[in-house]
Amino acid sequence: MTQRAERRGFLRAILAAVLILAAAAGVRLRADDPPLAIRITSPLGRTGTPGAVRIVARVEHAGDVAIQGVKFFVNGAPVGQDTDGPVYAVDWIDDNPFAPTVITAEVTDAKGRSATARVDLAAFDFVEQAEVISVLVEATVHDKTGRPISGLDKSGFILEEDGARQQLEVVRPEVMPATYVMLVDNSQSIARGVGFLRDAVTRFMRYLRPDDRVLVVPFSRTLGAATGPTNDVETVLDALLSVHPGGGTAIYDAIVETSEMIRKREGRHVLVLLSDGYDEHSVATRDDALQAVQASGATAYVIGIGGVAGISMKGEALLKSFAEATGGRAFFPYRESELPVVHDKVASDVATRYLLTYTPTNQRVDGSWRSIRLVTADNGLVVRTKPGYYAPKPPPVRPTLELTAIDESRRVLDVTREDLVVLEDGVPQTVEAFSEATSPVSIVLALDESGSMRRAADGVKAAARSFVDALRKEDRLAVLRFSDKAEIAHDLTQFRSDAMKAIDEYTTHGGTALWDAVHESNGRLRTVEGRRVIVVMTDGRDENATANGPGSVTKYNDLLEELRATGALVYTIGLGTNVDRERLQALAAGTGGEAYFPETVEALSAEYARIVENLRRQYVIGYTSTNSRRDGAWRAVTVTSRQPGVRIASRGGYFAPQR
pLDDT tens figures, 220-240: 888 888 887 888 878 877 777
Residue at 13 is within a domain: no
| Residue 25 resides in a domain | no
Is 380 found in the same domain as 284?
no
Name the pLDDT band for 131 (thresholds 50, 70, 90). low
**Residue 193 pLDDT:** 65
State residue 351's pLDDT score: 64
The pLDDT score that the predictor gives to residue 24 is 41
Report which of residues 29 and 318 the model is more confident about: 318
| 26, pLDDT greater than 50 | no
Q: Is the pLDDT of residue 23 over 50?
A: no
Are 169 and 291 found together in one domain? no
Together in a domain, 555 and 425? no
* Distance, CA of 516 to CA of 519 (rounded, Å): 5
Answer yes or no: is 234 within a domain.
yes
Whether 406 and 550 map to the same domain: the answer is: no
Q: Are 60 and 38 in contact (CB under 8 A)?
A: yes
Reply yes or no on whether the pLDDT at 3 is more than 60: no
427-444 burial code (b ≥16 CB/10 A, e <16): eebebbbbbbbbbebbbb
Are 372 and 499 in the same domain?
A: no
pLDDT given for residue 248 in this prediction: 83
- C-alpha dist (Å) from residue 626 to 401, 458, 525: 16, 53, 30
Same domain, 191 and 315: yes
**Helix, strand, coil shares, percent, the chain, to 5:** 30, 35, 40
Is residue 311 one of the residues assigned to a domain? yes
For the segment 618-655, what is each residue's pLDDT rounded down to a tens digit?
999 999 999 988 888 999 999 999 999 999 999 999 99
CATH number of the domain that residue 342 is part of: 3.40.50.410
3 state SS of 525 = helix
580 and 458 in a common domain = yes
Ramachandran region of residue 64, left (φ > 0), alpha (ψ -120 to 50) or beta? alpha
Residues near 23 by beta carbon (within 8 Å), at least 6 away in sequence: none
Per-residue pLDDT at 12 exceeds 60 = no
What value does the CA radius of gyration of the chain take, rounded to a whole number of Å?
Answer: 36
Q: Which residues of 278-300 are buried (b: 16+ CB within 10 A; e: fewer)?
A: bbeebebebebbbbbbbebbbbb
What is the band of 212 on the pLDDT scale with cuts at 50, 70, 90? Answer: confident
Please check whether residue 272 lies inside any domain of the structure.
yes
Whether the predicted pLDDT of 419 surpasses 70: yes
Same domain for 426 and 481, yes or no, is: no
Q: Is the pLDDT of residue 19 over 60?
A: no
Q: What is the DSSP string of 555-624?
A: -HHHHHHHHHHH--EEEEEE-SSSS-HHHHHHHHHTTT--EE--SSGGGHHHHHHHHHHHHHT-EEEEE-
Q: Report which DSSP code applies to 64.
A: T
The pLDDT score that the predictor gives to residue 15 is 42
Give the model confidence (pLDDT) of 559-617 as tens digits: 999 998 888 999 999 999 889 999 999 999 999 999 999 999 999 999 999 999 999 88
Say if residue 339 is in the same domain as residue 424: no
The enclosing H or E element of 20 equals helix 3-24
Q: Confidence class of residue 448 from pLDDT cuts 50, 70 and 90? A: very high
* Residue 607 included in any domain: yes
Question: Do 450 and 520 sit in the same domain of this protein?
Answer: yes
H-run or E-run covering 171? strand 168-173
Residue 5's pLDDT band (cuts 50, 70, 90): very low
pLDDT above 70 coverage of the chain, percent: 88
Residues with Cβ within 8 Å of 113's Cβ and at least 6 positions away in sequence, in order, are 35, 36, 61
Backbone φ/ψ region at 327: left (φ over 0), alpha (ψ -120 to 50), beta = left
* Domain contains 23: no
Which one, of 401, 400, 370, lies nearest residue 387 by Cα? 370
Give me the mean pLDDT over the 499-504 stretch. Answer: 95
CA atoms within 13 A on the CB side of 234: 0
* Nearest to 429, CA basis, from 402, 458, 400, 456: 400
pLDDT at 536 over 90: yes
Question: Lowest mean pLDDT: which of 157-161, 282-286, 568-572?
Answer: 282-286
Q: What is the pLDDT of residue 4?
A: 42
Cβ(322)–Cβ(256) below 8 Å: no
* pLDDT-derived band at 310, boundaries 50, 70, 90: low
User: Is residue 126 very low, low, confident or very high in pLDDT (cuts 50, 70, 90)?
Assistant: low
| 333 shares its domain with 423 | no
Average pLDDT over residues 297-310: 71
Strand 476-482 vs strand 486-493: parallel, antiparallel, or unpaired? antiparallel
Predicted confidence (pLDDT) at residue 14 exceeds the cutoff of 50: no
Mean pLDDT, the chain, rounded, equals: 85
Which residues neighbour 583 within 8 Å (Cβ) at sequence distance 6 or greater?
556
Give the amino acid at 427.
V
pLDDT of amino acid 1:
43
Buried residues in 387-398 as b, exposed as e (16+ CB within 10 A): bbbebeebbebb
Q: Is the pLDDT of residue 493 over 90?
A: yes
Task: From residue 495, give the alpha-carbon distance in Å to each of 96, 474, 550.
Answer: 29, 10, 35
Nearest to 603 by CA among 504, 460, 503: 460
Stretch 248-267: mean pLDDT:
84
Range of the domain at 105: 37-121
Is residue 357 within 8 Å of 161, Cβ to Cβ? no
Q: Are 189 and 229 within one domain?
A: yes
| Cα gap 180→300, rounded to integer Å | 10
DSSP sequence for 392-428? PPPPPP--EEEEEEEETT--EE---GGGEEEEETTEE
Tens digit of each residue's pLDDT (9 = 90 or more) over 267-278: 678 888 888 777
Domain count, the chain: 5
pLDDT grade for 308, boundaries at 50, 70 and 90: very low
Instruction: Tell whether 9 is covered by a domain.
Output: no
